[in-house]
Structure formats: C-alpha cells, structure tokens
Structure 1
Amino acid sequence: MASPNRIIIDTDPGVDDILALLLAFSAKPEELEVLLISLTFGNVDVQNCLRNAVSLFHHIEKEQEWRRKNGKPEGFETLRASKPIVAVGAEEPLADQLMMADYFHGVDGLGGIHSSHPHLTPAESWKSLFDVAASSGNDDEAEAAREIQASEAPFTPSQLPAHEEMLRLLRENEPDTITIVAIGPMTNLALAAAADPETFLRAKEVVVMGGAIEHTGNMTPVAEFNTYADSIAAARVYALTSPNPKTTMPPVPPAPPGKQSAEPPPPFLKAYPEKLSRRLKVKLFPLDITERHVLTRGTFNSIVGPQLDAGSPLAEWMTAFLGSTFAKMESLTPGVSGDVVGLALHDPLCIWYTLLASSPHWTLAAAAPEDIRVETSGQWTRGMCVVDRRNRKKRLDDDGEGGQVPSDAGNWLGVRSGNRIDRVVGTPGEERFGGVLLGRVFG
C-alpha cells in the first residue's frame, strides 16, 4: 500500500475551510493522514473557528451513523483510520491590526448558522476538553469524565498552543515527512518558525492558500485576505525560502504608544539565526489560480439535493451554511443569479493538491521559483504580493548580506537575495473540481 501524504492543516474554519476539511477527511487512508488541525483567528475569532471545527466532526459522526443505518458505506476513511489532534492557536496577528472576514463568512464563520439553525449546533460540553485551567485542577472525578469524553471524541484535543503542537510533530518525525497546509493567516506558522527555525524547516513543504500576483485582491484592491490578515507573518515565513532570509525579512514595526521604542522586539519578531541548515519549500496557491475553481449553486443542488431528500445529516448542515453563502455571493456579484452563482474553492484546492501531488497536471509559473515578497508597511498596500517585473540582469557581485545597493534598492537583483517560491498556475481540472469535491464527500 502506498504511503499517505501526512499533513498538518492550519486553518480558520469559515465556509471554504470546512469544505477543505471535508475533502481531507473523505480521503482514503493510503492517500492522506491528517495529523493536526491547527486553528487560528482569521475568517472569525479563534473560538468560533474551534466551534466550527467541532461542529464538523459532530456532523461527520451523525452522517456515518445515518449511512450505517441505511446500508451505505460510512466514508471518511482517513478519519476512521487515525484521529487528528485539534489545537487552538493564535488569537491575533503578530503586529498588524486585527481584521476578520465575518462580513462574508458571517459572525460565526458559517453564515450565522449557529443562530439561524441552533438544532445543528452540538452541545457545548466539548469546551472543557480545551480548558487548560479545568484540566489542571484537582477534581479527579471531573478529570476522569473529561478523559472519557476525549477518548470518545473523533479527534484528540490538545491543550498546547497550536504552534507548539506543530513543532512537536515535526520534531518527533523524520524530516520531509510532514506537509503543512496553510489555509488561513500564517500566524501559527510564523510563531513556530520564530520559536525553533530548524525544527520548522523539517517540513516537507508548506502549501499556502494566499496572495494575489496578477489577480486583483479580495480584501483590498491588491491584497488577498489571508496575507492581509497577518502580512508580517506571511513575510517572515516566506523569508525562510531565501538563501539569505535577512534580505526579505519585514522591518520590525514601531512600538505601540506608551512603550519604549528602545525595548527589544518580542521573540516572534526577532531575526532568524545567521546560518540555517536548509531553505523552506513553499507551494503557493494565490487567487490567480483559486478563483478559477468554483462550486456553483447548480452543481451543489444537483449532487447534494438528492442526499438532502434522503435524510443525510451532512447534506442538511452543508445546505444550511452554503445556502447562506450562495445568497451572499449573489448579493455581491452584479448580474449573476440562480444556478450559476459560484463559490471559489480557495482552500479545498490546496487539499486537492495534497491528494494528487504526483499528478503532472500541477504546473508552476514559468519563472519558478519566483521572488515573491509581501508588503507589510504600506499605507494602501498591506498584504500585497510584490514581484519584480523589470527586465534586468542579476548582479553577480551579490554577497547576500542584505545591505542596500545604490543601483538596486531592496536587493531585488542579487543572485543570493530574495525569496524562492513555487507558484501554481495549472491544476488537474478547474471545470470539474466542484463535482469532484462533493463526489468524494458523499461517496
């Protein structure tokens, strides 16, 4: 049997994150092993993200029970083969102003479903599983009850911060055996990289949904949401792809009012060590490619409608939050209505790559790897992905030290300067991905 691609999913569960997790969990064990769901703020606050992740597990369990009763294959084989860890991470960006996408995903991240459809929300007894204070108490009976609840859950709750759980897994496994799939702001990844760069670099690669290169932004005219939400984190992670990370590290932001600017920066904003053993491999899925992969209302209704009519709990849950999402898309898109209204499958595309990574249909930009940098301090350009489009020769005298060169501000032309990022420009089939996703989820 083939060895599965072992992954960590760093996510901020809103609508397309949930679709990405459903796709991952519906894989076969020989395709994928999900080791960790690492949660971050992003689409909504991190506690709502946690509730949405737990709701997902709850509805998968209900779906499997319904399928058993109706003589259907249970599905979600990789989830049955091994329980992933769930860990709660960053509540806010490293230094940027906190911004969320609840204007699109709803105040709870799933179109307001927890208020509009309260019967679809699991009881909140699961909260104690992540309560560090409760679990460190001396109430033996309560602790025993929590342990039983945790053993019965379809996931393993962690009371470590997500970035520490990420580092633990990378440390305890061989290098190049774990892929990190980052489909939210990259704060947890940046915290892990700052805490222990060499352990972080043991990752096989980091698959990122983020940025906009030639496409317009979806948060500002030039910035995609995940990169905008923590531009400093993205810039720091991308710097690890450089032969000399100091050449693209973002400047340390000024101290907030009331604090001495002479104070040393916090540990997560300090420079990386001078010598690192290797470069980070990043596979980037920007809006340029993700916006072309769409799930339309018509495709959703044609595939999920019969499942809903048959009584599928998962179809009921998905119809509730995707119905709200399609309505939101219809309100935002001039001249588009009915079955052609579509939701871009940004995050699921990254999971599809981990399932089919060996396919020759994944193609990279002709200039790959590219020197893609993230703007962190511009008035209008926070989170913008900047690429040098000038037709200029590289400087062969580059010493890689990152100092300014009068004829090359920013060291864009030095042969040992800049980032090295692989940008995906082609996939196994944008026109069919929505059907493939739902086909896998519903078997």
Structure 2
Amino acid sequence: MKKSTLSSRLYKTLFLMIAVTIVISLITVDLFVEDIEYNALNFELNADAEFFKTHIDNGQFKRWRTGNLEAVFLPSGADETRLPEFFRNRPAPFSAEVTVGNKTLLIIIEKIDNPSGKLFLARDFTILERREVLVKILLVSIAMIMLAAGFMVAKGSAKLLTRPLKRLSRDIQKIQPGIAMERLTRDYRDSEFVEIAESFNRFLSALESHIQREKSFVKLASHELRTPLAIISGALEILEQRRDVSQNDQRTLQRIRNATRTMQEDTEMLLQLARGKTAKEDFIAFDMVKLTIEIVADLGNSCGNFKGRTEVIYGSAELLVYSNPALVRMLLRNLIKNALMHTSARVQVQLGRKSIHIDDFGSGLPQSVVSQFSQVPHKAPGGLQESSFGLLIVQLICERLNWQLEIEHSGSSGTQFIIRMPDCGQDVSILPCGGLEP
C-alpha cells in the first residue's frame, strides 16, 4: 500500500478548508439575497394593500390590474368563482410564492373588517426570479473559479511549507556513517527546523564519539586476543621441536593446534566484523563440500557427543563458491554447532548450488527468535540482538556476504535454516558476492 506524503496531505487539507469556506459563503449569500428579495416584495405588497384599502367602495366586489400587479376585493359571503384561479381556496391571512404556469407570483391575502371581506394581491416577479437564477449561475461560476484558484494556492502553499522539510530530509540522507560525518546546515528561516538541525548535529557528535570508542576498543581487543593465541602457538611449536612426546600426546597437540588455528581465524573474522570491513582480496574460490566436511570433523573431535551425528548431503563431489572461506567457516560452524546442541538426534546439512539447508530434529527455537526472523529483514542490523551470540554472529556474517538467512520452519519436529547465496554472474570481482564461481 502506497503511503501518502506530508505535502499531499497538507494541500488536500488546505483545499478542503478553502472548498468548505467557499460553499458556506455561497449558501449564505444565496439565502441572504433571497431573504432580502422576499422581504422587499412583501413590503411593497403591504404598501399596495394599504393603498387599495382606501379605494374599496361600499363593500362591493372590485378588481384592479396593472402590468405586474393584480388586486381583488371579495366581500364576505361572495362566491370565490369570481376570483382568478390562483387566489381560490387559500386561507386568510396568506403570504407565499406561487408558481402559475411559467410565472412566479408573490400572493398576499388579508381579512378586512370594514367593509367586511378579503383583499387579494398578487405581484408577478418572474423577471426578478430569472435574474436571481442568473445571479446564482454567476455565483456558482465564481465559486468554481475560486475553487480552482484555491486548489493552486493549496498545492503551492503545501510545497512551500514542506520545502524546508524535504531539504532537511535530503541533507540527512546524504550523511554517511563514519567517524567524521558532515553536519547539517542551520540556515533555515523557521526556528523549528533550526532546532531539528541542531538536535541532529548533537546526535551525530554523540554517535561519532561512540564510534570512536568502539574503534579504540576493537584496536585494544585485537592486541589482547592475538597475544595469548601467539603464545599458545609458540608453545606448541616448542613442544613439537623437542620430539619427546608420545604418539597420543602428538594427537592431543594436533587438536590443540587445530583449535588454536580455528580460534585465530575466528578472532580475525570477529575483528573484521567489528570494524565493518571485508577486504576484496579475502574472496577466493573454494570447495564448499570439502569445507563443510572439515567443519563436521572438527566439531566431532571437539566434543564426543557431536561425533557421527551430522550427515552432509551434496549432489557433486566438488562445489566451488566464490566468497570469504574464513567467514563461511565461522557461519557454518555456528549453525551446525547450534543444531547439534539443541537436539540429541542427527543433523542434516544439504549443499545445493545456490542454497544450504541445515536441519535438526530437536524441540525448535524459542518463539521470540522465530518471530524476529519473520518480522525483521535479513539485512536489518541487530535483528537477533536478543538471541544467542552464535546466531548473532551468523546474521552478521550473512549481512557481510550479502547472503540471505531464513528459518523455513521451527517447531516440535525440529528447525530448518536456509542460507541463500546470490549468483556472482560473469564478473566474480563484484563485492559483496556469495554465489557460485562461473
């Protein structure tokens, strides 16, 4: 559903107000003119009635006619058939407009005591009525012109009023997040927009300070995490150089070396994620099948409960993917490990040419996590901020690789994650890319 803009809502409201004002004014003017016309004609007829009362002779029937006026005196008890038809069978007193054929008459009937009888007066004001129709047509024409002008004024006023808001919106959209962000200008005529710009600039300053602290933390964390890993690696090399360890101890040392190497890779990837960068040269073509089998073997060696429970299904012995292998390793490792931890049954990993399906047969994820996947787009940062650390890492990696992460279903029968990889096309240098190598 297309949402309305503030400008359209504003000009519609202004135009509606102008239209209502014009209609009310038109109705008021029409009622006022009709009232004045009616009262003026009534006043004239009453004056004529007073005149004719002085010309009634001895209570006899009498009739007067002029160009647009007709008056009749009917004595009491006389037959009304002598009256013109438009005077007959009407009560006294009487005052109203009456249409007779193509004429419009204003009729007044009064009782007279001396001599006893009724005085009938009718004034033809058809010409005035026709002029009134012309006046109404003129008023409606003027109202239509005013409505058209009101429409233009409303639309122009809406554009004028929303112009600084649109400018402010464009200036905000141009700002790129970073350490040194451009500030909004304050050269607005209205103080409200100046206050908004100042408030937003203060927010940018606070955001820059926060980003600077985060970068400083990442820099320090990088040193603190790498140092103990380097010490462990050095100690392993010394032990191997002594050549006095048993074969069982050598296998143990190899497990430690593998775990250390994995931790070094994970640390580097976490630092890259924290910095918000993934270097172009880190993208290479690698075999997804081989990588997945290695991850499953490492997980089985790291925990006896994981061993032999993961089934890897693939259509061909080699499936080349152009991406960052370290990030993909961390992604699959976290998803498969999460699946193994939430079920005691087997886990199935199905590798396709453009998607990866990871199925477990446990009790399903918490509803809060599932609802976050259904409500938040896969590219929205922080969509899993309340879930486990592993799933949060998975989402961040998918965002960085431009992959789509979805939960196909999750319930008492288990959970299925789907990772969708876009095709790189012919130009594998385009980043981010996570599709198949052509």
Q: Which structure is higher in helix share?
A: 2
TM-score relative to the length of structure 2: 0.20
TM-score relative to the length of structure 1: 0.20
Between 1 and 2, higher relative CO (CA 8 Å, sep ≥ 6) is seen in: 1
